[in-house]
Protein backbone atom coordinates (compact mmCIF):
# COMPACT_ATOMS: atom_id res chain seq x y z
CA UNK A 1 0.00 0.00 0.00
CA UNK A 2 1.25 3.53 -0.74
CA UNK A 3 2.34 5.93 1.98
CA UNK A 4 -0.67 7.43 3.75
CA UNK A 5 -3.07 4.95 2.17
CA UNK A 6 -5.95 3.00 3.74
CA UNK A 7 -7.04 -0.67 3.88
CA UNK A 8 -9.98 -2.72 5.21
CA UNK A 9 -9.30 -6.23 6.52
CA UNK A 10 -11.99 -8.94 6.74
CA UNK A 11 -11.94 -12.37 8.42
CA UNK A 12 -13.73 -15.47 7.08
CA UNK A 13 -14.28 -18.52 9.30
CA UNK A 14 -13.85 -22.06 8.00
CA UNK A 15 -16.40 -24.72 8.81
CA UNK A 16 -16.21 -25.67 12.48
CA UNK A 17 -14.75 -22.35 13.61
CA UNK A 18 -16.07 -19.00 14.75
CA UNK A 19 -14.29 -15.66 14.22
CA UNK A 20 -13.64 -14.15 17.67
CA UNK A 21 -11.95 -10.83 16.72
CA UNK A 22 -8.85 -9.03 15.53
CA UNK A 23 -5.67 -8.32 17.45
CA UNK A 24 -2.43 -6.47 16.67
CA UNK A 25 -2.96 -3.15 14.91
CA UNK A 26 -6.71 -3.79 14.88
CA UNK A 27 -9.12 -4.84 17.62
CA UNK A 28 -12.75 -5.88 17.81
CA UNK A 29 -14.56 -7.56 14.96
CA UNK A 30 -13.77 -4.99 12.25
CA UNK A 31 -10.46 -3.67 10.93
CA UNK A 32 -9.98 -0.42 8.97
CA UNK A 33 -6.44 0.92 8.61
CA UNK A 34 -6.08 4.59 7.53
CA UNK A 35 -3.14 6.95 6.87
CA UNK A 36 -0.77 4.01 6.84
CA UNK A 37 2.84 5.28 7.15
CA UNK A 38 4.51 2.08 8.48
CA UNK A 39 4.24 -1.69 8.38
CA UNK A 40 1.08 -3.04 10.13
CA UNK A 41 0.34 -6.37 11.74
CA UNK A 42 -3.20 -7.74 11.90
CA UNK A 43 -4.22 -11.12 13.38
CA UNK A 44 -7.68 -12.66 12.88
CA UNK A 45 -8.52 -15.02 15.77
CA UNK A 46 -10.78 -18.07 15.47
CA UNK A 47 -12.12 -20.58 18.03
CA UNK A 48 -13.21 -24.11 17.32
CA UNK A 49 -16.90 -24.90 17.72
CA UNK A 50 -17.61 -27.63 20.31
CA UNK A 51 -20.70 -29.75 20.78
CA UNK A 52 -21.81 -31.43 24.05
CA UNK A 53 -22.85 -35.05 24.36
CA UNK A 54 -25.82 -35.28 26.75
CA UNK A 55 -25.18 -38.70 28.29
CA UNK A 56 -27.61 -40.10 30.91
CA UNK A 57 -28.31 -43.40 32.67
CA UNK A 58 -31.81 -44.91 32.72
CA UNK A 59 -32.65 -45.40 35.54
CA UNK A 60 -30.07 -43.22 37.28
CA UNK A 61 -29.72 -45.88 40.01
CA UNK A 62 -28.83 -48.51 37.41
CA UNK A 63 -25.34 -47.32 36.51
CA UNK A 64 -23.33 -44.61 34.78
CA UNK A 65 -22.29 -43.58 31.27
CA UNK A 66 -19.06 -41.83 30.31
CA UNK A 67 -17.93 -40.42 26.96
CA UNK A 68 -14.18 -40.23 26.30
CA UNK A 69 -14.38 -36.72 24.79
CA UNK A 70 -17.14 -34.37 25.90
CA UNK A 71 -17.66 -31.74 24.56
CA UNK A 72 -16.33 -32.57 21.07
CA UNK A 73 -14.87 -30.13 18.52
CA UNK A 74 -16.49 -29.84 15.11
CA UNK A 75 -15.96 -33.05 13.11
CA UNK A 76 -14.46 -34.86 16.11
CA UNK A 77 -15.23 -38.30 17.60
CA UNK A 78 -16.05 -39.79 21.00
CA UNK A 79 -16.58 -43.25 22.51
CA UNK A 80 -19.23 -43.73 25.20
CA UNK A 81 -19.20 -46.63 27.66
CA UNK A 82 -21.83 -47.80 30.15
CA UNK A 83 -21.07 -49.27 33.59
CA UNK A 84 -23.88 -51.01 35.52
CA UNK A 85 -24.11 -50.83 39.31
CA UNK A 86 -24.41 -53.89 41.51
CA UNK A 87 -27.81 -55.49 41.00
CA UNK A 88 -28.27 -54.14 37.43
CA UNK A 89 -27.49 -55.23 33.84
CA UNK A 90 -26.66 -52.92 30.94
CA UNK A 91 -29.17 -53.58 28.15
CA UNK A 92 -28.03 -51.13 25.46
CA UNK A 93 -27.84 -47.53 24.21
CA UNK A 94 -30.58 -45.37 22.78
CA UNK A 95 -30.72 -41.87 21.30
CA UNK A 96 -27.81 -41.11 18.90
CA UNK A 97 -26.35 -44.57 19.63
CA UNK A 98 -27.92 -48.02 19.57
CA UNK A 99 -26.85 -51.50 20.56
CA UNK A 100 -24.31 -52.23 23.28
CA UNK A 101 -21.50 -50.01 21.94
CA UNK A 102 -21.42 -46.32 21.13
CA UNK A 103 -18.90 -44.52 18.88
CA UNK A 104 -19.82 -41.07 17.64
CA UNK A 105 -17.86 -39.74 14.62
CA UNK A 106 -17.81 -36.53 12.55
CA UNK A 107 -19.78 -34.71 15.21
CA UNK A 108 -21.27 -31.46 13.89
CA UNK A 109 -24.15 -30.99 16.34
CA UNK A 110 -25.18 -31.73 19.95
CA UNK A 111 -25.67 -35.45 20.62
CA UNK A 112 -27.86 -37.35 23.09
CA UNK A 113 -26.92 -40.78 24.41
CA UNK A 114 -28.88 -42.87 26.94
CA UNK A 115 -27.48 -45.98 28.62
CA UNK A 116 -30.30 -48.31 29.66
CA UNK A 117 -30.13 -50.68 32.64
CA UNK A 118 -32.47 -53.28 34.15
CA UNK A 119 -32.52 -54.56 37.73
CA UNK A 120 -31.38 -58.15 38.26
CA UNK A 121 -33.85 -58.41 41.15
CA UNK A 122 -37.33 -57.00 41.56
CA UNK A 123 -36.70 -56.43 45.30
CA UNK A 124 -33.75 -55.70 47.56
CA UNK A 125 -33.31 -56.57 51.23
CA UNK A 126 -33.05 -53.83 53.86
CA UNK A 127 -31.44 -54.80 57.18
CA UNK A 128 -31.64 -52.54 60.23
CA UNK A 129 -29.30 -52.89 63.19
CA UNK A 130 -29.39 -50.79 66.33
CA UNK A 131 -27.13 -49.89 69.21
CA UNK A 132 -28.73 -48.92 72.51
CA UNK A 133 -32.38 -48.92 73.56
CA UNK A 134 -35.01 -47.96 71.01
CA UNK A 135 -37.12 -49.22 68.10
CA UNK A 136 -37.08 -48.58 64.34
CA UNK A 137 -40.14 -48.64 62.09
CA UNK A 138 -40.48 -48.03 58.34
CA UNK A 139 -42.72 -46.34 55.80
CA UNK A 140 -43.87 -48.29 53.83
CA UNK A 141 -44.45 -50.89 56.55
CA UNK A 142 -42.14 -53.85 56.89
CA UNK A 143 -39.51 -52.92 59.48
CA UNK A 144 -40.39 -53.02 63.19
CA UNK A 145 -37.04 -53.40 64.92
CA UNK A 146 -37.50 -54.39 67.90
CA UNK A 147 -38.28 -57.80 66.59
CA UNK A 148 -38.49 -57.54 62.77
CA UNK A 149 -35.27 -55.95 61.49
CA UNK A 150 -35.18 -57.13 57.84
CA UNK A 151 -37.55 -56.64 54.92
CA UNK A 152 -37.53 -56.83 51.12
CA UNK A 153 -38.57 -53.66 49.27
CA UNK A 154 -39.18 -53.10 45.57
CA UNK A 155 -36.26 -51.97 43.45
CA UNK A 156 -36.18 -48.16 43.24
CA UNK A 157 -38.52 -47.74 46.23
CA UNK A 158 -37.79 -44.88 48.66
CA UNK A 159 -38.01 -46.08 52.26
CA UNK A 160 -38.29 -43.84 55.33
CA UNK A 161 -37.05 -45.18 58.67
CA UNK A 162 -38.31 -43.74 61.97
CA UNK A 163 -36.40 -44.03 65.27
CA UNK A 164 -38.22 -44.12 68.62
CA UNK A 165 -35.94 -44.07 71.71
CA UNK A 166 -37.06 -46.01 74.80
CA UNK A 167 -37.72 -44.25 78.09
CA UNK A 168 -34.41 -43.10 79.54
CA UNK A 169 -32.70 -43.15 76.13
CA UNK A 170 -32.07 -40.62 73.37
CA UNK A 171 -31.47 -41.06 69.63
CA UNK A 172 -27.90 -40.24 68.49
CA UNK A 173 -27.38 -40.89 64.76
CA UNK A 174 -28.02 -42.86 61.55
CA UNK A 175 -25.48 -44.75 59.48
CA UNK A 176 -26.27 -45.99 55.97
CA UNK A 177 -29.08 -43.56 55.15
CA UNK A 178 -29.67 -39.80 54.88
CA UNK A 179 -31.17 -38.12 57.95
CA UNK A 180 -34.19 -35.87 57.29
CA UNK A 181 -33.14 -32.30 58.11
CA UNK A 182 -36.55 -31.34 59.47
CA UNK A 183 -36.77 -34.46 61.67
CA UNK A 184 -33.46 -36.17 62.56
CA UNK A 185 -35.41 -39.13 64.01
CA UNK A 186 -36.14 -40.08 60.37
CA UNK A 187 -33.91 -41.05 57.46
CA UNK A 188 -34.54 -42.02 53.83
CA UNK A 189 -32.87 -44.32 51.33
CA UNK A 190 -33.65 -45.62 47.83
CA UNK A 191 -33.57 -49.39 47.32
CA UNK A 192 -31.06 -49.79 44.50
CA UNK A 193 -29.28 -52.71 46.18
CA UNK A 194 -29.29 -54.70 49.41
CA UNK A 195 -28.54 -52.23 52.20
CA UNK A 196 -27.85 -52.09 55.94
CA UNK A 197 -28.77 -49.16 58.18
CA UNK A 198 -27.61 -48.69 61.77
CA UNK A 199 -29.45 -46.58 64.34
CA UNK A 200 -27.57 -45.55 67.48
CA UNK A 201 -29.26 -44.73 70.79
CA UNK A 202 -27.63 -43.64 74.05
CA UNK A 203 -28.73 -43.79 77.67
CA UNK A 204 -29.66 -40.44 79.17
CA UNK A 205 -27.29 -39.87 82.12
CA UNK A 206 -28.88 -39.98 85.57
CA UNK A 207 -28.63 -36.55 87.18
CA UNK A 208 -25.86 -36.42 89.76
CA UNK A 209 -26.89 -35.83 93.35
CA UNK A 210 -28.15 -38.31 95.87
CA UNK A 211 -30.74 -39.30 98.40
CA UNK A 212 -31.96 -36.89 101.04
CA UNK A 213 -33.16 -38.57 104.24
CA UNK A 214 -35.23 -36.78 106.86
CA UNK A 215 -35.70 -38.00 110.44
CA UNK A 216 -38.12 -36.63 113.01
CA UNK A 217 -37.86 -36.58 116.79
CA UNK A 218 -41.19 -35.97 118.51
CA UNK A 219 -44.50 -35.47 116.79
CA UNK A 220 -44.52 -33.49 113.58
CA UNK A 221 -44.27 -33.68 109.84
CA UNK A 222 -41.58 -32.46 107.39
CA UNK A 223 -42.35 -31.68 103.75
CA UNK A 224 -40.11 -30.60 100.88
CA UNK A 225 -40.20 -28.23 97.94
CA UNK A 226 -39.66 -29.67 95.30
CA UNK A 227 -41.99 -32.45 96.38
CA UNK A 228 -40.60 -35.79 97.46
CA UNK A 229 -40.34 -35.63 101.24
CA UNK A 230 -43.43 -35.96 103.44
CA UNK A 231 -42.01 -37.41 106.62
CA UNK A 232 -43.76 -37.77 109.95
CA UNK A 233 -45.24 -41.24 109.98
CA UNK A 234 -42.08 -43.05 108.89
CA UNK A 235 -43.00 -43.01 105.21
CA UNK A 236 -41.71 -40.81 102.38
CA UNK A 237 -38.71 -39.82 104.47
CA UNK A 238 -36.18 -40.41 101.68
CA UNK A 239 -36.18 -38.94 98.16
CA UNK A 240 -33.69 -38.43 95.31
CA UNK A 241 -32.88 -34.96 94.05
CA UNK A 242 -30.36 -33.73 91.47
CA UNK A 243 -27.23 -32.00 92.71
CA UNK A 244 -28.29 -28.63 91.29
CA UNK A 245 -31.61 -28.62 93.17
CA UNK A 246 -31.91 -26.61 96.40
CA UNK A 247 -34.52 -28.33 98.56
CA UNK A 248 -36.57 -26.33 101.07
CA UNK A 249 -37.73 -28.37 104.09
CA UNK A 250 -40.65 -27.19 106.21
CA UNK A 251 -41.38 -28.49 109.74
CA UNK A 252 -45.05 -28.76 110.72
CA UNK A 253 -45.48 -29.58 114.44
CA UNK A 254 -48.41 -31.74 115.51
CA UNK A 255 -51.14 -30.30 117.73
CA UNK A 256 -49.70 -29.55 121.16
CA UNK A 257 -46.14 -29.78 119.85
CA UNK A 258 -43.51 -27.14 119.24
CA UNK A 259 -40.78 -27.30 116.62
CA UNK A 260 -37.38 -26.95 118.32
CA UNK A 261 -34.53 -27.10 115.83
CA UNK A 262 -32.86 -28.64 112.77
CA UNK A 263 -29.79 -30.85 112.62
CA UNK A 264 -28.07 -31.19 109.26
CA UNK A 265 -29.22 -27.91 107.73
CA UNK A 266 -29.37 -24.24 108.68
CA UNK A 267 -32.70 -22.73 109.65
CA UNK A 268 -34.00 -19.90 107.51
CA UNK A 269 -33.73 -16.49 109.23
CA UNK A 270 -37.17 -15.42 108.07
CA UNK A 271 -38.83 -18.69 109.18
CA UNK A 272 -36.94 -21.01 111.57
CA UNK A 273 -39.42 -23.79 110.74
CA UNK A 274 -37.78 -23.97 107.33
CA UNK A 275 -34.29 -24.84 106.17
CA UNK A 276 -32.63 -25.17 102.77
CA UNK A 277 -30.34 -28.04 101.82
CA UNK A 278 -28.57 -29.20 98.66
CA UNK A 279 -28.74 -33.01 98.45
CA UNK A 280 -25.63 -35.13 98.27
CA UNK A 281 -24.98 -38.81 98.67
CA UNK A 282 -26.14 -39.91 102.12
CA UNK A 283 -27.35 -36.45 103.23
CA UNK A 284 -29.47 -36.63 106.41
CA UNK A 285 -31.50 -33.96 108.22
CA UNK A 286 -33.25 -34.27 111.60
CA UNK A 287 -36.21 -32.16 112.74
CA UNK A 288 -36.86 -32.11 116.51
CA UNK A 289 -40.28 -31.46 118.03
CA UNK A 290 -41.21 -31.22 121.76
CA UNK A 291 -44.38 -31.23 123.88
CA UNK A 292 -42.93 -28.42 126.07
CA UNK A 293 -45.13 -25.53 125.10
CA UNK A 294 -43.54 -23.02 127.48
CA UNK A 295 -42.60 -20.08 125.34
CA UNK A 296 -38.93 -19.91 124.67
CA UNK A 297 -37.40 -16.55 123.86
CA UNK A 298 -33.93 -15.17 123.41
CA UNK A 299 -32.95 -12.42 125.92
CA UNK A 300 -30.56 -9.69 124.95
CA UNK A 301 -28.94 -7.87 127.95
CA UNK A 302 -28.73 -4.23 127.06
CA UNK A 303 -26.93 -2.93 130.21
CA UNK A 304 -25.76 -4.12 133.63
CA UNK A 305 -25.27 -1.83 136.63
CA UNK A 306 -23.56 -2.85 139.92
CA UNK A 307 -24.37 -1.00 143.15
CA UNK A 308 -22.10 -0.20 144.82
CA UNK A 309 -19.86 0.07 141.77
CA UNK A 310 -16.93 -1.23 143.85
CA UNK A 311 -18.32 -3.61 146.49
CA UNK A 312 -16.24 -4.57 149.50
CA UNK A 313 -14.80 -8.03 149.66
CA UNK A 314 -17.44 -10.54 150.70
CA UNK A 315 -19.94 -7.68 150.66
CA UNK A 316 -23.43 -7.57 149.24
CA UNK A 317 -24.51 -5.74 146.06
CA UNK A 318 -27.60 -5.49 143.98
CA UNK A 319 -27.78 -6.72 140.34
CA UNK A 320 -29.60 -4.21 138.20
CA UNK A 321 -31.02 -4.59 134.65
CA UNK A 322 -31.85 -1.27 133.10
CA UNK A 323 -31.76 0.16 136.66
CA UNK A 324 -34.29 -2.44 137.86
CA UNK A 325 -33.42 -5.23 140.31
CA UNK A 326 -33.25 -8.69 138.76
CA UNK A 327 -35.25 -11.13 140.86
Q: Tens of pLDDT along 120-178?
A: 878 899 999 999 999 999 999 999 999 999 999 988 899 999 999 999 899 999 999 99
The pLDDT, as a whole number, for residue 296 is 52
Within-domain flag for 266: yes
Q: Any idea which of 5-14, 80-89, 206-215 has the lowest mean pLDDT? A: 206-215
The pLDDT, as a whole number, for residue 123 is 87
- From 186, 203, 220, the end of a domain falls on 203
pLDDT at 326 over 70: no
Q: Which domain holds residue 72?
A: 51-119
What's the whole-model pTM score?
A: 0.42
pLDDT at 321 over 50: no
What is d(CA 20, CA 8) in angstroms, rounded to the nearest whole number?
A: 17
pLDDT at 297 over 60: no
Number of structural domains, the chain? 4
Within-domain flag for 244: yes
- Vertex 179 angle, CA 173 and 184, to 5°: 70
The pLDDT, as a whole number, for residue 206 is 66
How far CA 162 is from CA of 19, 128, 129, 192, 291, in Å, comes to 60, 11, 13, 20, 63
Within-domain flag for 306: no
Amino acid sequence: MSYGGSSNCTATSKTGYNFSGFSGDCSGTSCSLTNVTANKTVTANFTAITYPINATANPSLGGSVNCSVNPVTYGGSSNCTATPKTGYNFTGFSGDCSGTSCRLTNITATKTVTANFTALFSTFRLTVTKTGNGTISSNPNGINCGSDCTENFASGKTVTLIAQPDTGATFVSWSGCSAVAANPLQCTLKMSKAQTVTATFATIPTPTGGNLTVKTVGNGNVTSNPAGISCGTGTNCTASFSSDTAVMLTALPATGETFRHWNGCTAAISNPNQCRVTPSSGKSVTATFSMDTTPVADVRVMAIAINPATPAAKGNFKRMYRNQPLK
